[in-house]
Structure 1
Amino acid sequence: MSHAFHSLLMDPMLAEFREIAAGLTYDAPRIPVVSNVTGKAAGTEELLSPDYWVRHVRDAVRFADGVATLHELGVTTFLEAGPDGVLTALAQEVLDGADVHLAALQRRGRGETETALTALGKLHTAGRAVDWKPALAALAPDTRRVELPTYAFQRDWYWPDVWGGTVDAASLGLAGADHALVGAWVPLPETGGVVGTGVLSVRTQPWLADHVVSGTVLVP
């Protein structure tokens, strides 16, 4: 930095700075602003005054008070838009133990795109609303959206088709069965009974479709 901001070394330039600030056109903020000059929510008249910005150059930075005020106002998400994550670390220290989420859009020595997307992803997984369309268009224009795989029993069939041919029941530890519905038997040693296993399908037993009520195949 070229100047020792927020110190008495700024005094020689304050008069000239005020003249420049007085020549600017100010607009009322569209979102609330918490001031680092006071550590409290800033009023519109305050932010539209050149004198306020002169104080901003000279006075101490009340960062901790500002972060605490934001949290008192119900803010639980903090996103740092500076060149590094220094303020994110400081805010974490101020809000130690609070249920908040903090992220930095840039990190020194890290790729800008990866860091920004990581920060947005961190907020997204924390339940914060992220508009990904403009974010991806700006940060990763070559990406495209794809649908996640559906649940196995919804819309698409993901199971292998193993019923098209003959299945060797013996290789599965079962006994083959010459039966219209039962494909294999397994004996029950305790009772002497058997358990029959088979597949009911209008593909393998087309005659099942003879019993249809309101579009549903019924098996008596």
Structure 2
Amino acid sequence: IEVQALSRAFGNTGTCALGSLKGNVGHLDAASGIAGLIKTTLALKNELLPPSLNYTHGNPDIDFTNSPFHVQAQPSPWPRTHDPPRRAGISAFGFGGTNAHLILEEAPLPEPSPTSPHPTETLIISARTPQALEQATDQLATHLRNEQPNLADAAHTLATGRRTFPHRRTVTGNTPDTIAASLESRDPANVLTAHTPANTPPLVYIFSGQGSQHTGMAHDLYQQEPTFRTTVDQCAELLTPHLGHDIRDIIFTPDNRLDQTQWAQPALFTIEYALTQLWHSWGITPTTMIGHSLGEWVAACLAGVFTLPDALHLVALRGRLMQAQPPGAMLNIMADRTTVEAALTDNLSLAAHNGPRDCVISGTHDAIHTFTTHAQENGWATQPVTTSHAFHSTLMQPMVDEFTTAVATTTLHTPHTPFISNITGTWITDHQATDPHYWGNHILSTVEYTTGIQTATTQPGTTLLEIGPGQTFSSLARRILTHTNTQATTLATLPHKRDRRTAPETIQRTLATLWLTGTTPNWTNYYNQQQRRRIPLPTYPFQHKHHWL
């Protein structure tokens, strides 16, 4: 009856294979239709027509000769053709004579995934229990080896298509096989694991100070990340009237002028501010901030004390006025603050207190030379700072009034995000932030970095993220935290200039580590520019348990 009905519907043209699932699973009653749908879907996917089980010859009452149908007795290829697409009909016949019929057509082949802009990919895994995390890790490693999926699509799927649980793991690599090998061996160089707290930990931005700049810093980010590039371009356009030159030429091309403070300060500000906008586009925002010297200007701008145009104007002026001051020198001394301050003469200043035994002094060349000899006699290790001027010393005094007047001509606002003062090492007050004299005194005062880091890490589990080129200031923070036995995580946005890792790889690993420690990125925005797609990956490894009632 069914074949006769199909013959009347289809006519006697072409050819069509018939199959049945009943020989495999028997009568399924209400489930027979969905079972047929699953079988047909798999046939389309695998490009194979499966046989009807145990079929030898047809019912003599069925006139196959005068119909377009034949029973599929053996498996046969069913490859894709460009035109027409493959189609299959599914019939579910009810006992009372009803017939539900569904027609499936093959889905069009997806467009090839675009090439990832990143040389490496970081995949994230999470689970409710340590045992499930280990099983999920093994499942993913096996899948990567067997299926060789597009890595960027796999990373996107895990980040945007899975719920997040407290037991977390990240892995970084450049091919499915290298990531699989790292997962199988739990290679600590590429695999990080953590149990994430329920509450999001405080996130502190550390803005780098002068001395960390180098030509070509973050150039690959400028090429690959539209948000970063747009912000750098915006800053460059705002700076050009004040500098008389395009700051991008000085940052991204070999140019010795980057060592001069009048160029270094606006260059650093531009890179650091653009990094904050990139982090913000990925859903990362600070709880509080601290900057080292110039870095405090980025913090103040981000907190809303200065508008971006005003901040850039004042930073350019600050660098130009400093450049015009008498030359000087700076020296790093590995000794405690009390000892160093006791040895300072009138023409020397403590420029920065960077750690328990890490002080920087400023002054004239002769005074620094004399102090170096004194330090050697006392067994204090010293290291000259590469600079042409004595920052944070009285040699900067002649520029303070002019700079303070310039600050007074701009509109200052109370900060909407707390940040730490270099002058006091504690939270800046609304009065200080909006007082032009504060920003004038900032040029002369000691950078209280040690006290500032201690202030920033009073809450357990704080994460410190350096914003700027290199990792100098996060390394200094780590030493301070080790000395005080404070538990905190220190991360860097960009690699050291001698690091083989690229800026995109470093920031990618840092983003994954932020997720690992409890900060929640906006993964959709992170992958938004890449046009990635979801792909099949292993599902959650439920830990089955038997319970008797």
TM-score over 0.5 for the alignment?
Answer: yes
Question: Partner amino acid for 2:519?
Answer: R
CA offsets 1:81-129 (integer angstroms, 9 cap, x no match): 1111111000001111322111111123342221111111111112222
Question: Which consecutive residues of structure 1, in runs of 5 or more, have no partner in the other structure?
Answer: 154-220
SS of aligned partner of 2:530: coil
Give runs of aligned pairs for residues 45-84 of structure 1, distance below 5 A: 45-72=431-458, 76-84=462-470
1:142 correspondence with 2:530: yes
1:9 correspondence with 2:400: no
> Which has more radius of gyration?
1
1:117 correspondence with 2:505: no
CA offsets 1:23-50 (integer angstroms, 9 cap, x no match): 1111211111111110011111110110
Aligned to 1:39: 425
Q: Distance in 1 between matches of 2:491 and 2:524?
A: 20
Greater fraction of residues in strand: 2
Q: Which stretch of structure 1 is more off in the superposition, 124-133 or 17-26?
A: 124-133
Question: Partner amino acid for 1:93?
Answer: R
Aligned to 2:410: 24
Q: Which TM-score applies when normalising by structure 1? A: 0.62
1:12–1:123 CA distance, 2 compared to 1 (3 A) = same
Q: Distance in 1 between matches of 2:394 and 2:526?
A: 42
Say if 1:101 and 1:123, in contact at 8 Å, map to a contact too.
Answer: no
Computed over aligned residues only, the root mean square deviation of the Cα atoms, in angstroms, reads 2.3
Q: CA deviation at 1:149?
A: 2.0
1:143–1:90 CA distance, 2 compared to 1 (3 A) = farther
Q: Distance in 1 between matches of 2:486 and 2:533?
A: 35
Q: Which stretch of structure 1 is more off in the superposition, 91-100 or 1-10?
A: 1-10
Say if 1:81 and 1:105, in contact at 8 Å, map to a contact too.
Answer: yes
Aligned to 2:522: 131
Q: Distance in 2 between matches of 1:49 and 1:143?
A: 47
Greater fraction of residues in helix: 2
Q: CA deviation at 1:73?
A: 5.0
Q: Distance in 2 between matches of 1:17 and 1:128?
A: 39
Aligned to 1:95: 481
Question: Partner amino acid for 1:46?
Answer: Q
Say if 1:6 and 1:58, in contact at 8 Å, map to a contact too.
Answer: yes
Aligned to 2:162: none
Q: Distance in 2 between matches of 1:145 and 1:127?
A: 25
Question: Partner amino acid for 1:53?
Answer: W
Q: Distance in 2 between matches of 1:114 and 1:25?
A: 39
1:57–1:123 CA distance, 2 compared to 1 (3 A) = same
Q: Which stretch of structure 1 is more off in the superposition, 2-11 or 76-85?
A: 2-11
Give runs of aligned pairs for residues 155-194 of structure 1, distance below 5 A: none
| Sequence identity (%) | 33
Q: Which has the higher contact order (CA 8 A, sep 6+)?
A: 2
**Number of aligned pairs?**
151
Q: Distance in 1 between matches of 2:541 and 2:519?
A: 29
SS of aligned partner of 2:464: strand
Question: Which consecutive residues of structure 2, in runs of 5 or more, have no partner in the other structure?
Answer: 1-259, 262-321, 323-389, 543-549
1:106 to 481, 494, 509: 494
1:136–1:53 CA distance, 2 compared to 1 (3 A) = farther
1:25–1:146 CA distance, 2 compared to 1 (3 A) = same
